[in-house]
Structure 1
Amino acid sequence: MHELQAHAEGVEIVGGGDKVTFMGDSYRVAEKIGMMPLLRFAVVAKAGAQSDDMEGFAAMYALIRDCIDASDWDRFESDATVKKADQDDLLKVVTDVIEIVTARPTRRPADSSDGPQNTSPNSKVPSISPRARVPEGAGELVSITDLLAARSTA
């Protein structure tokens, strides 16, 4: 539940260790996903690559490899081979990883010395779709920002 609150408040959890599930096993998500493999995959797909197109295969492989943490890559690649993963299985991993990565709070640039930005209370409230469900007990949570501030003054 603390991950949900941290995300809503835009606070980074150090050492999060995000994982993605693929065909029954979990794999660590890469700390950072480069834009170039995603762009290459998009260009190849837009150009009309077919499922048997070697350039499309190479672009998909590079993208998946960028999504999985290097420490789990050999196991992931072996499992995908043994379990006979198909294109849909592999694209789901990419989609799941992108959802995980985009849900991570962004880090403040290293050269930023102005401290937290002043924002209106409304800008801190996450938008929740009508289908989303707020976890039970969410109203009783203590602000991550307040906890971090208390920790730094202790």
Structure 2
Amino acid sequence: MTVKQGRYYIGGLIRFAAKDEETQEWVIELDDKLRPLFAGDQFTQIEWAVRHELNGQQIAQWLHGFYASHAKPFPFKVETLLKLCGSEDASATSGKQKLRKALDAVTEASAAHGEGFSYEIRGDLVHVKKPASGPQRRHLAKKASKPRKPRA
């Protein structure tokens, strides 16, 4: 596997791996040059308490992870979210009901752990509101401060 970090690193992910024959546990060392990937502003943290509360609810867990990676979510079609999460529901009506139930579960689990999350379905679009994480807020501020180039 090849990983790219900005313009500075292209290389392997794993430096070393070994399996303990007695315990069957793996010891895996990542390449030290990957350290910048794990800096505080380079990844999205998922609230694990919310994730665990959604245990057994695959669509809800997928939605939680999906929206955790969005600093400022924009509306998605119900149909698109169902496809992205891997739902195989052929009925638009029951698919929308499953999606609503999963979004309700994310809303409740998030509220129970002090994490904001709300949604509204208007027509066939799902509008989600959630606070951006610290790194996401910095990203949005940086993006807003850059002058926009006019489109040709």
Instruction: Identify the TM-score tier after normalising by the shorter chain.
Output: under 0.3
Greater relative contact order: 1 or 2 (C-alpha under 8 angstroms, separation 6 or more)?
A: 1
TM value normalised by structure 2: 0.27
Structure with the higher strand share, 1 or 2: 2
Please report the TM-score for the alignment, with normalisation by the length of structure 1.
Answer: 0.27
